[in-house]
Structure 1
Amino acid sequence: MEAIDFGYVAKFAEGNGLVDLSKAPYNAGQYRNLFVAYTYPQAMTQDGRMVGMPTDIGPGSMFYRTDMLKKAGVSPAAMNKSWESYIENGKKVLAANPGSFLIPDAGEAAQIIIRAGLKAGEGVYFDKSNKVLVSPNNARFVKALTIAKAIRDAKLDARAGGAFSADWTTAFQKGNLATEFSGAWLVGHMQNWLAKDFSGKWAAQNLPGGTYASWGGSFYGIPAQSQNKAESWNLIKYLTTNQAQQVLAFKTTGAFPALRSAANDPVFNEGVPYLAGQKARILWRQAALKIQPLDVNKYDPIADQIFGDAVAAVLDGSKDIKTALTEANTLITRRAR
């Protein structure tokens, strides 16, 4: 048995290294209705194989420093009304809190926007016929780069790169960030080591513009080479479909359960001490039910890397949006054959 992070599901799905759990003797499809709707499609390959059982999810959330917003006279609702509103009010927050940053890296906004607002069954980078969606004619990608560039040009971001980079960690630990976007699981890191000196000063709300997105999640799969497939399946079933076990995993690691019934445990109605007692778990539970299942494509990791390079080129000013997306389209088309 092995645990698989969502970011690697497409890679694993490419080969035949994992057992197809949709087939006998596993017949994992029978449990589908027990789980948050968007989880199963994440573990399915284009040819219908199921390579993992969902165990935890990352409903997306906007975390913000209540004290910094208050000092600027900016309401949380104004911050997440739209991305444009986020930028305009973000300028006020930074003006009132010298030396702070609105967001660790402007590129984050682009990554959220391309994943938010998709309809059920749509892919991030490819449609059902494997056509590349990254293009200067696709409003989703144009908006993603436009907003990211506006954040960078207004000097609102810390230019910290990706999550868990050294600069990202430092900005959190120093308390220099006014907001961050992530999965519900980030609170566990914040309270334990990332921003433990700022307990009670952070709160959570939904993503800007009334959108919903997922930050990762984990799955359990069975390697095709495994000598103990029956035992592995019994353990996977216990870890994923047993309500008490899913609640225990949440209490110990903050891993938000993929099993719907687990999220109805009384612990989810309790306040989160780190978030000043806010009942944020109710917010995340509702968000999880609104996130749409996305189509996973085996070439997603390649497209992800190429789009990431396009974002970097736009942010550093070496390419305009149209050029960056045109070149990304060509590169992805060439490499996804």
Structure 2
Amino acid sequence: MPNTRAAIGSTRRTGLRLGAVLLTGTLLAACSGSSEGASGSGGDGGTVTLTVDLFGSFGYEEAGLYDEYEDLHPGITIKQTDTQDEQDYWKSLQTRLAGGGGLADVQGIEVGRIASVTQQQADRFEDLTAYGADALESEFAPAKWSAATTPEGAVLGLGTDVGPQAMCYRTDLLAEAGLPTDREELAGLWATWDGYLELGERYMDTAPDGSAWIDSVGSLYAVMIGQEEERYYDAAGELIHEDSPAVRTAWETSARAAGDGLSAALDQWSPQWNQAFSTGAFATLPCPAWMLGYIKGQAGEAGQGTWDIAALPGDRAGNWGGSYLTIPAAAKQKEEAYKLIEWLTAPEQQAKLFRSQGHFPSATGAIEEIAGTTDPYFSDAPIGRIFGDAAQEAPVQVLGIHDKSIADQITNALSEIERKGTEPGKAWQNAMKGIDNVLG
């Protein structure tokens, strides 16, 4: 699920600048973020249970990192809860933050929400510099670090991953439809988004029964908007969503895909969407790095070798998602929670997570280490190179406090087009009304 550089001055800004991942910056000493060998008992010899509440698939359990941490820290037990849909997770988190109860020791925050946290809710989260986090700044891409820092200098989260984008596709379905399956050839055919839609029309002419070109036009919109620097806010922090050329282009392209019948019309993270990974309901999937682990989890062993990855359409790379680990002010085990998130976000663990689950590192020390990584599940695709190149080329994005909420309303309106046949102009009006309601 979830990948940011804000130029933070002395005054608050509505928009934070987010780099999908900026690979500039000093590579760090590998072990400086690790807390291996430290006692996990909190100093009293007893057992400490740390609660972790996340959304989507962070991959820590799947990669065995919790088990490793517990082995290294006798007396620590980690219990994770998660919600697949980030919108549901965020709503629940807001309710619990307002009431002060029911919060975990560690809470995940999606990058599209981090400006809301730093600008509106800083008092509800721990300043991690109180636990020594300021010593870690050089370990992270500058954009990732800055986005979780308040204008006053409080650091409210440690970065997990970022979301450089590519296109995942089903080689077996494309072959059955008589289309090329080579990743370099496909990247040439869909060098533009028009080319991508045209290839989709060819696919639909000969597609296997029950298979569409893409999972949903909402995912198409998300990946296109992730290629843009200014989307919903401009560099001055002003809302521009209604007149943004980037938003309009992504909207019109997505509406065209819906009108051409290229979409399976599946809501991402829904049970139906999850099932579609194993039924062949769609041939291509816009694919930030963190999606790789999710595909593996849903398609299972039967999917190995049927998926591959190619460069993204369009004239630039992009970023979609990335996350942070935070500690609520109401957490019960703050000291031990900090030790855990410091360890989980250290370069060594971020490199392990990429190799296992595809989550691209925000820790600069891990990026060089994973450059040559390939993935046998995805037909031995050179994922280190594909996503590394995308990370280097992605634009620095302007983020604001309502980014995720605005995107959600537009995605909901696109769903109306593909599910209900709503006329695009009417659906756009509905999106703008929904945004006005959210913004108040």
Normalising by the smaller structure, the TM-score range is: 0.7 to 0.9
Equivalent residue number for residue 2 of structure 1: 106
| 1:76 counterpart = 2:183 | no
Residues 25/169 of structure 1: CA separation in 2 closer, same or farther (3 Å cut):
closer
| 1:117 counterpart = 2:228 | yes
Matched residues in 1 for 2:162 and 2:195: separation? 28
| 1:85 counterpart = 2:195 | yes
1:108-187 alignment, distance < 5 Å? 108-118=219-229, 122=230, 124-135=231-242, 137-162=243-268, 164-187=269-292
Query: Once the 2 structures are TM-superposed, how far is the Cα of residue 142 of structure 1 from its aligned partner?
Result: 1.7
Query: Once the 2 structures are TM-superposed, how far is the Cα of residue 179 of structure 1 from its aligned partner?
Result: 0.5
Query: Once the 2 structures are TM-superposed, how far is the Cα of residue 150 of structure 1 from its aligned partner?
Result: 1.3
Moved more, 2-11 or 92-101: 2-11
Matched residues in 1 for 2:355 and 2:107: separation? 19
Query: Once the 2 structures are TM-superposed, how far is the Cα of residue 38 of structure 1 from its aligned partner?
Result: 3.8
Query: Once the 2 structures are TM-superposed, how far is the Cα of residue 231 of structure 1 from its aligned partner?
Result: 4.5
Comparing both structures, which one devotes a greater share of its residues to strand? 2
Q: Which AA in structure 2 matches 1:72?
A: G
Query: Once the 2 structures are TM-superposed, how far is the Cα of residue 303 of structure 1 from its aligned partner?
Result: 1.9
**Aligned to 1:187, what secondary structure does the other structure show?**
helix
Query: Once the 2 structures are TM-superposed, how far is the Cα of residue 61 of structure 1 from its aligned partner?
Result: 1.7
Matched residues in 2 for 1:221 and 1:62: separation? 30
Query: Once the 2 structures are TM-superposed, how far is the Cα of residue 160 of structure 1 from its aligned partner?
Result: 0.8
Moved more, 45-54 or 86-95: 45-54
Give the alignment's TM-score, normalised by structure 2.
0.65
Equivalent residue number for residue 18 of structure 1: 125
Query: Once the 2 structures are TM-superposed, how far is the Cα of residue 128 of structure 1 from its aligned partner?
Result: 4.4
Matched residues in 2 for 1:42 and 1:293: separation? 12
| 1:297 counterpart = 2:400 | yes
Determine if contact 1:10/1:296 at 8 Å carries over to the other structure. Answer: yes
* Identical columns (%): 25
1:308 to 407, 411, 435: 411
Matched residues in 1 for 2:218 and 2:349: separation? 36
Query: Once the 2 structures are TM-superposed, how far is the Cα of residue 151 of structure 1 from its aligned partner?
Result: 1.0
Matched residues in 2 for 1:18 and 1:66: separation? 45
Q: Which AA in structure 2 matches 1:126?
A: Y
Q: Which AA in structure 1 matches 2:246?
A: R
Tell me the alpha carbon deviations over residues 273-332 of structure 1, each in whole angstroms, 9 at most, x when there is no partner. 1122222222112222333343332223432333233323444443433x5445644653
1:222 to 319, 324, 327: 327
Give the alignment's TM-score, normalised by structure 1.
0.83
Q: Which runs of no fewer than 5 residues in structure 2 stay unpaired?
A: 1-104
Equivalent residue number for residue 354 of structure 2: 250
CA RMSD of aligned residues (A): 2.9
Which protein, 1 or 2, shows the higher relative CO under an 8 Å CA cutoff with sep ≥ 6? 1
Determine if contact 2:417/2:424 at 8 Å carries over to the other structure. Answer: yes
Q: Name the count of aligned residue pairs.
A: 326
Q: Which AA in structure 2 matches 1:132?
A: L
Equivalent residue number for residue 96 of structure 1: 206
**Aligned to 2:214, what secondary structure does the other structure show?**
coil
Equivalent residue number for residue 34 of structure 2: none
Matched residues in 2 for 1:150 and 1:282: separation? 32
Q: Which AA in structure 2 matches 1:141?
A: V
Comparing both structures, which one devotes a greater share of its residues to helix? 1
Residues 85/3 of structure 1: CA separation in 2 closer, same or farther (3 Å cut):
same
Q: Which AA in structure 1 matches 2:382?
A: K
Residues 306/286 of structure 1: CA separation in 2 closer, same or farther (3 Å cut):
same
Q: Which AA in structure 2 matches 1:302?
A: S
Matched residues in 2 for 1:192 and 1:252: separation? 11
Query: Once the 2 structures are TM-superposed, how far is the Cα of residue 174 of structure 1 from its aligned partner?
Result: 0.9
1:236 to 341, 344, 348: 341
Determine if contact 1:42/1:295 at 8 Å carries over to the other structure. Answer: no
**Aligned to 2:308, what secondary structure does the other structure show?**
strand
Tell me the alpha carbon deviations over residues 52-83 of structure 1, each in whole angstroms, 9 at most, x when there is no partner. 11022232220012344345344412443111
Determine if contact 1:81/1:210 at 8 Å carries over to the other structure. Answer: yes
Determine if contact 2:133/2:155 at 8 Å carries over to the other structure. Answer: no
Residues 32/314 of structure 1: CA separation in 2 closer, same or farther (3 Å cut):
farther
Determine if contact 1:222/1:233 at 8 Å carries over to the other structure. Answer: yes
Matched residues in 2 for 1:327 and 1:129: separation? 27
Q: Which AA in structure 2 matches 1:165?
A: S
Matched residues in 2 for 1:202 and 1:332: separation? 36
Residues 150/328 of structure 1: CA separation in 2 closer, same or farther (3 Å cut):
closer
Residues 334/90 of structure 1: CA separation in 2 closer, same or farther (3 Å cut):
closer
